[in-house]
Structure 1
Amino acid sequence: MPGGGIYPGLMCGRFAMNDAVNAMITDFVLATGRDPSEWMSSWVPSYNIRPTDPVPILLETFVDRSAPSAPSAPSDPTAPTARRAELAQWWLTPSSAKALRGSAPMFNARSETVTERPAFRHPVKRQRAVIPAAGYFETMTLEGKKVPQFVRPPHGLLYFAGLYSWWADPDLPAHDPARWHLTTTILTREAVGEIARVHDRTPVTLPRDLVDTWIDPHVLGDAGLVHDMVDAATDVAETLVFHRVASPIRGDSPETIAPA
């Protein structure tokens, strides 16, 4: 894992959510008419988020009139929707999986094949999410040594394009709300610009004005949509900057992402 070495060859393997992310999500929730304390009570900003950690994601779901709280979406693409900020396990688990976490790393999804892979081709259609972040960690090889870097935008936040999936625990009864687990993954693409010096892959970082389109379940997530989003994300990717951080990456505070 970048910055940790657990998942070699994969990225992004750690990222940070600071107070600015907290403020952005709070505004998102307020715009829905809901009380931000509904989700804030179970999450605090984190500067060292790792795979399988719970992370807040932004999504828009169909509202099933017969079962408003059901996590599954109705088949009618014209159904009304509701926006939500929810905590999700950062490791996507397909609804058909037998266990909440399998052996294959599922915290990243390659944008080039996301509409083809069995684990992702259903979620990408109408179960897309955005994960706001202050930046992410990546490992850069300098003089034969792996040196952790923190990659960030020159200002503002990053908006990772993601997918989500609901997994039902087969050991719990159907009426038990605890049986449902929300999981998520982050899309990646070929790196461009200066960040390509650090790693050949980078998250798909959406422009802020495309967040609404990406999470809208009325918009069918096909190869064309993914291509358009990746193409639009190029401008963001080309502006990313990075700085060296302390090695190994430890702790969970603003100092974790501070220049070393």
Structure 2
Amino acid sequence: MCGRFALTATPDRTAAFLGLAELEAFPARYNIAPTQPVLMALAGPQRSPGSNLPDRQAMLVRWGLIPTWVEDTKAFPLLFNARSEGVLEKASFKTAMRHRRALVPASGFYEWQQSGGKGGQPYWIRPKQGGVVAFAGLIETYAEPGGSEMDTGAILTIEANAGIAHIHNRMPVVIDERDFARWLDCRTQEPRDVLDLLKPAEPDFFEAIPVSDLVNKVAKTGPEIQERGVVGPQAEKVSRRKPGADENQMSLF
């Protein structure tokens, strides 16, 4: 699953990585949670010959996708993740998969290893080489009954690689920089054409750092939540899936 992540890179670094013309200033975010606004990038409007418009555009979306056909949002589960394995068939995601594929910039994400204790052991999982990564995302614009529109989004997940499977059985899909254009191209690339991109990162791509339970609290948003913590004595005796957690529920993984 992917229910918490961070984006601490500067706007300039993030814009350059995503291939955006520019980004408005924003602070480092250490504890991004569902229902909060998240930055996503998607393909820009089709350019005419000689146009100077950027190939990609940035959007702020509410993290928690709402399909267009939902009538009562209060009764609909929070879809902050989309399982890659069924994304072409599931009614909640198949339209977004065809028309609004996106990139979600991140410095890493958090995962909780269940050990029988209360809450589990949290880990900060980041690229070994540092820098920014891009998770595969989907965007859906939901029209509320009153007429206003809300952009919403989800992060695609896949079975965890061998490097972090001992912590949790799911992880966000990472899109390689060389594949950005193909993933975002919803005009010429059908969903089936990009399924090969929905795969786990290489086993040595991420490193997992145990941290304290400060990250459990959404109100904690400073860098201290990423400081190395002490792994409890029961951390090796794990259940790889948090009891009662699934893609349709808000959780801390």
Equivalent of 2:160, from 157, 179, 191? 191
How many angstroms apart in 2 are the aligned matches of 1:27 and 1:153?
Answer: 18
Equivalent of 2:15, from 21, 26, 35? 26
- C-alpha change, 1:82 and 1:168, in structure 2 (3 Å) is farther
TM superposition shift of 1:141: 2.6
Within a 5 Å distance, the mapping from 1:84-163 to structure 2 comes to 84-99=57-72, 102-142=75-115, 144=117, 146-155=120-129, 156-163=131-138
TM superposition shift of 1:254: 1.4
Equivalent of 2:35, from 48, 52, 58? 52
Q: Kindly indicate whether the alpha-carbon contact (under 8 Å) linking 2:20 and 2:54 is maintained by their aligned counterparts in 1.
A: no
Structure 2: give runs of 5+ residues left out of the alignment.
Answer: 230-253
How many angstroms apart in 1 are the aligned matches of 2:224 and 2:156?
Answer: 27
- Quick one: which amino acid aligns to residue 168 of structure 1? A
- Quick one: which amino acid aligns to residue 243 of structure 1? I
- C-alpha change, 1:48 and 1:102, in structure 2 (3 Å) is farther
Q: In the alignment, does 2:156 pair up with 1:182?
A: no
Equivalent of 1:246, from 212, 217, 241? 212
Q: Deviations over 1:100-155 (max 9, x none)?
A: 56531300000000000001011101210000101111101347561011111102
Within a 5 Å distance, the mapping from 1:232-243 to structure 2 comes to 233-235=200-202, 238-243=204-209
Q: Kindly indicate whether the alpha-carbon contact (under 8 Å) linking 2:6 and 2:109 is maintained by their aligned counterparts in 1.
A: yes
> Which of the two has greater helix per residue?
1
Q: Identity percentage over the alignment? A: 30
Within a 5 Å distance, the mapping from 1:29-40 to structure 2 comes to 32-33=20-21, 36-37=23-24, 40=25
How many angstroms apart in 2 are the aligned matches of 1:24 and 1:102?
Answer: 39
Q: In the alignment, does 2:191 pair up with 1:222?
A: yes
Match of 2:240 in 1: none
Q: Deviations over 1:22-53 (max 9, x none)?
A: 33333368x554x533xx3xx43211111010
Match of 2:243 in 1: none
TM-score, normalised by the number of residues in structure 2: 0.78
How many equivalent pairs are there?
Answer: 220
- Give SS of 1:256's match: helix
- C-alpha change, 1:102 and 1:123, in structure 2 (3 Å) is farther
